[in-house]
Amino acid sequence: MRPLTESETQTLFAKLANYTGTSLKNLIAPLDNGPNADRYVFRIQQSRCYYVRLSLSNLATSIARDKLLSLGTCLGKFTKSGKFRLHITALPILAEHARYKVWVKANGEMPFLYGGHIVKAHVGRWSDDCPEHQGVVVYSMNDTPLGFGVTARSTQEARRLDPTGITCFRQADCGEYLRDEDSLFATS
């Protein structure tokens, strides 16, 4: 595992800031105020970016790169063109630090988990003043994170939509664990 380069760090932080906003700094802040405080860092292994404690990352240096498969939480993957694609495995981290949220009704959970976008009829509620093309975390009505996406309309525009209008484009959902189980954790 290696640390991120400057351009990789900028690309990753730009993507994460779309979902977390100003709480992005909480991802890398020290865990406590002690003199030997541990913190979380971002590391790359075979184009996949991992979110891991610094103490564990330092211990992993004693393992050969070809033998180390994974360490920490996989946030996503850098594409060959240099862009960053978030994976569903980043959902617990995004849900904890999300700036904007969308709650879907019970009748909208299954269409979302099968890979569909969220239509207005399925939205139970969502964060106030959410702008267009903003990253949001999708929750069920009982506050269980289901996935994440990007808003198609702002909150004010979505209120005027018809019930079949798309309000949020799906980026990832928990159904990917079953649909993509062969390739989700593949090392290629």
Is 31 inside a domain boundary? yes
Domain stops at, among 28, 60, 93: 93
More confident residue, 182 or 110: 110
CB atoms within 10 A of CB 67: 6
Domain limits at 16?
2-93
Is 183 inside a domain boundary? no
Q: Are 82 and 7 in contact (CB under 8 A)?
A: yes
- Which pTM was predicted? 0.86
Q: How confident is the model at residue 84 (pLDDT cuts 50, 70, 90)?
A: very high
Q: How confident is the model at residue 92 (pLDDT cuts 50, 70, 90)?
A: very high
CATH of the domain at 129: 2.30.130.10
Structural domains of the chain, count: 2
Secondary structure of residue 45 in the 3-state scheme: strand
Contacts of 77 (CB under 8 A, 6+ apart): 47, 48, 49, 84, 85, 87
pLDDT score at 186 = 63
Percentage of residues in the chain with pLDDT exceeding 70? 96
Per-residue pLDDT averaged across 121-131, rounded?
91
Reply yes or no on whether the pLDDT at 177 is more than 90.
Answer: no
Reply yes or no on whether the pLDDT at 61 is more than 90.
Answer: no
Per-residue pLDDT averaged across 63-83, rounded?
89
Long-range CB pairs of 55-62 (<8 Å, 24+ gap) are: 57/1, 60/1, 61/1
Q: Are 90 and 74 in contact (CB under 8 A)?
A: yes
Amino acid at the residue 58: N
Helix spans in 1-151 (H): 6-20, 25-28, 54-59, 91-97, 106-113
First to last CA, the chain: 15
CB atoms within 10 A of CB 55: 12
120 and 151 belong to one structural domain: yes
Q: What is the pLDDT of residues 147-170, one digit of tens each?
A: 999 999 998 898 899 999 999 999
Reply yes or no on whether the pLDDT at 146 is more than 60.
Answer: yes
**By C-alpha distance, which of 51, 27, 177 is closest to 99?**
27
**Helix-strand-coil split of the chain, %, nearest 5:** 35, 30, 40
Location of structure tokens 């994170």? 145
Amino acid at the residue 102: V
87 and 105 belong to one structural domain: no
Is 187 inside a domain boundary? no
Distance CA(4)–CA(106), nearest Å, equals 40
